[in-house]
Structure 1
């Protein structure tokens, strides 16, 4: 078995797009099979949500520490910006998870 590069592993650790299949291609049966596969893979989305929330909280905390202790608001931006970016990524993850669990498959 071939080992994956570190950047590939890092990408897969934070982003879940590689887990899912395209439901817009193929015949009706292929799209339905891809939808079922995606619904099964949706079980991993809460894990990705937790990762993004923890990383967001950690970066927010580091930003606060840097701002308070070092009294450097400019340097703290290096931590606050990734923390703020974790919010929309978490929202998209929640929307994808709810959509895959609640929506009916392709017709």
Structure 2
């Protein structure tokens, strides 16, 4: 029997990068340092792709909100698009900060 993965799970894995990282607050100092090195190695290369995805989503929702407001003259859907665009912008900023942090601090502090 061939089991297919649910669409929502695929979308979650495509957009949400945080499960791919390891917890650096648990374990001994050596384990925390190893986890930080792993996060740094993964994050520096893969976070820009996730940042681009969320930036595109942000742009999409703000453009859609603008279209709803200007061309269709409907306020509620436009407001929903702008709120969703703000949420996606928040995630894009979090990803950017995480990427900059991993690039700036090569080792975990003691």
Name the TM-score class by shorter chain: 0.7 to 0.9
CA apart distance, 1:106: 4.0
Runs of 4+ in 1 over 3 A off after TM superposition: none
Normalising by structure 1, what TM-score? Answer: 0.87
Hey, what does 1:34 align to over in structure 2?
A: 35
1:82 is displaced (CA, Å) by 1.1
Deviation at 1:94, TM superposition (A): 1.0
- Give per-residue Cα distances to partners, 1:48-86, cap 9 Å, x unaligned: 111111111111111111112211112212211111112
Worse-matched range after superposition: 25-34 or 54-63: 25-34
Gaps of 5+ in 1: none
Q: Which moved more, 1:10-19 or 1:38-47?
A: 10-19
What is the CA RMSD across the aligned residues, in angstroms? 1.8
Q: Secondary structure at the match of 2:55?
A: helix
Contact map agreement 1:31 1:106 (CA 8 A) in 2: no
Local SS of the residue matching 2:58: helix
- How many residues align? The count is 107
Gaps of 5+ in 2: none
The answer for the alignment partner of 2:50 in structure 1 is 48
- Length-normalised TM-score, structure 2: 0.85
